[in-house]
Structure 1
Amino acid sequence: MTPSDLCLNGTIIRFDASVLTTVDPRIFQVDWLRRNKLWLGSTSGRSQAHFFRVADHDMVLRHFHRGGLVGRVNRDLYLRVPAAKSRALREFDLLSEMHAEGLPVPLPVAAQFIPFGPFYRADIITQRIPDARPLQEVLFDRGLSTNLWRQIGAHVRQLHDHCVFHSDLNCRNIMLDTRDRIWFIDFDKCEKRKPGRWARANLDRLHRSLVKTAAQSPNVHWCRQDWENLLAGYADDTAIHIRDEQG
């Protein structure tokens, strides 16, 4: 990676110059992507992600939106902080560090900080993980093997061993590609932390999301034993190294 900063009338754009030799601020505008036939599609929901292709790379654009009750009256404004501490640039920097450590996360491409009086807006672009779907979606189609559940647990352990706190670790933010390789996405409000009880809380959050998903339909392929297999992989992270050697 080659992180570089561009400043335009107060707006700060941090980008990977090895992917984007130059950066056009309009790359963060969905309408511009559509007009230039770069836009490929999008997800639904509050944290909508837009897929597009630029410079022979498939990418994902995500605008930062407020949630909860605040989000009903304030869609996307955050109290202004120095650009380096903004949500987008912090996520960009964390992903850069994690990618350098060999963790299974998308490569950050660009992040934008736009000051607006005492507030700011933000966006982030990452490379799209090829042929990957959320674990939640996969479980509606098929069950996973004992080994794959152990692999998921080992990968979560790998994050924790690198002191990565994922603020929203759930079965929508764990991705599986067509080769059953495991990836993690959406690192907004995430950070490096000293080892502590947060790791157990992370696992509890993931468990709640799986229980909630299983309650949505009798067709979801998940049961208590799957969770036990995940925990076994978490406790014995040598499984991840065996999988890596097998390719």
Structure 2
Amino acid sequence: MSHAHPLWRRTFAEGLGTGLLVTVVVGSGIAAASLSPGCVGLQLLENSFATALGLAVLILMFGPISGAHFNPVVSAVDWWLGRRSGSGLTAQDLAAYLAAQLGGGIAGAILANLMYGETAVSWSTTHRSAGHLYVGETVATAGLVLLIFSLAASGRAKAAPAAVGAYIGAAYWFTSSTSFANPAVTVGRAFTDTFAGIAPSSVPGFIAFQLAGAVVGAALVVALYPNAGKAVTPHTETTAGASS
């Protein structure tokens, strides 16, 4: 598979895009808590609305370069499906994407903290460790993977920015975990003791069930779209990925 952009440029786009995504999530959460004190439902609405719009914009911005994965599970599924079809990310691409996404997620949380006058790193004290939350993360991640790769397999990749943004915005509300659905974003959110934070001790459990959701989502993709082999937003001579 030949890529339209060199790996360093695609990796930079993934790190920058993931960082800005976390900045949107954390920053809008801080703003929501400040503007709507004492009203958690309204805070979540503001946070989810900003995240949905911000994600759609970021996919449009970086999709043509890297595929706009912004999510280790999307990159991993892209790599796995690509082994079946001779497309998708290579192992080298995958390693670079994962490192960039993780680093970007952490940097994005720090940037949001600094923009709102918070300490650069303030470990979250919001514990999110419960069985029903893990079920929510599994469902959120499986649905995200199924959406992304079904769009590509059915020739509707251009709908990815709106569809993925809408899915994440909705999943804030229909999943018990408020749909982190992204290991890099989950790690980043541990670095902020604000509305969107997650305690470091809760991170491993969330990531474990995000990975389980990725497996379920990938299995559903293969069952429904046997020829699926690429993610969503164009970034090669053919197609590639997108996520939250």
State the TM-score, normalizing by the size of structure 2: 0.30
The answer to which structure has the higher helix fraction is: 2
Tell which structure's C-alpha radius of gyration is larger. Answer: 1
Relative to its length, the structure with more strand (as a share) is 1
TM-score by length of 1: 0.30
